[in-house]
Chain A
Amino acid sequence: MKRKGWFQVLRPLSPRARLTLGTLSFVLPIVIWCIVSYVPAVWHPQVRITDAGSTDYLQVDMRMDKAAFADAVKEAEDAQKDPPKGVPSNPIYLPAPHEVAEALYTAFITPPPTPDSPWLHQSLWHSIQVILWGFVISSIIGVPLGIICGTYAAFARLSEPFIEFFRYLPAPAFGALAVAILGIYDGPKITIIVIGTLFQQVLIIANTTRKLDVALVEAALTLGTKKLKLLTRVVIPGILPDLYRDQRILLGWAWTYLIVAELIGTSTGITWFITQQARYQHFANVYAAITMIGIIGLGTDIALALIGKRLFPWDRTLVKEA
């Protein structure tokens, strides 16, 4: 039987196929975006006015629906006047790739609209700090609690049913409460991220801990390991690579709560930037900011994955993953 090609069940790909497909996963969406943006026959439901002609209610660069534009042209022609001219165009909320690429650069060098509002990089840095604090506080509570729940069944039974209940409560629902308690600045934002992350964190890490091979614990027991040493010398080192992987996933989780969190109280950070730009209809900037979040998120994850490989040279699951 031929055991090559892309459709082999549960078989790893060749390095070349991995690289090709990995690149394609980014290239394909961009190609689709380009087609929608640059091929006038695809979609383009509106017309961008290039010449108002004789009409007094149209202006250059104004966008309008194709049907309305056709009516305007017909009206002018019927009146024997100069008809307006225009090119097919997409709605303003879908800028072309080159506009977003340009915005990615110019957004950083454009000074803020008012002198006391932050530059884009300051907004981003503010967001990153909110995420990090939320994640660190969540981890300080969640990681030890998760490990203890996974190790001692009694602890798990005492806390997990309640946590299971609590994790279904949407974190943003606590926004108003958080503002009432912690004020309108970063306190409630960090709180939302903690609430969004912590409960999942405890359950995921408890499960990871429970997946540790019991035989390793038994081996340690027969070597004379007792109580607390069992936890510090067997359980924790044994789950460390998986714990690290969980933390990577949970950090991504924290990012998804960022926008909602930053809307609470006074809008700050990248969310403030996005809402500002959307208000002025600078949608290229909006996409640029969203892209920025993606780049930072993915970049952090890749960096953490590489660090993980260094930290845990014995870990076999990382070999499969990379």
Chain B
Amino acid sequence: MNTTARPSSWPVILSLLVALSLEVTPLPADFAAWRPPWLALTAIYWALAYPRRYGLALAWFAGVVLDVLKGGVLGQHALAMTLATWLTLRFHLRLRVFPIWQQTVAIGAVVACHQFIVFWVDGVAGAAELNWQRAAPTLAAVIAWPVVVALLDGLRMRLRMLA
């Protein structure tokens, strides 16, 4: 295999589409607030893996698509995902070499910023209720991050994508 070839984009697009589907998959009513921000986690993963190829523009566009899919205010998730990806890229040199548990904690902090923006725009649009459930996606993201990393690392390993 020619190691200098540019890695193909379809695994990235496919994983983002799967993440988009997971964002609206029906959950039991009791767990509705516990949905991890799959799309943000996936975008963060690819930004960490290929910081020079997949970054802000991709995250922003994916965020706009998510807004349309969820029927919310256009730009809400776009803004949140831009911020989350920017934080990731800003600290990617450190985040990449962290052991997984430390990385998970750091990503938890990034997702907390992401959720804050989502909550803020909800507040501007008049649909905000501040309760403990607002913290649920962040906790769910902390649980989901190692899973996302394991799955996408596995995918990259299998496809022998460039590091």
**A and B found bound together:** no
Binding site for B on A (CB under 8 A): none
Binding site for A on B (CB under 8 A): none
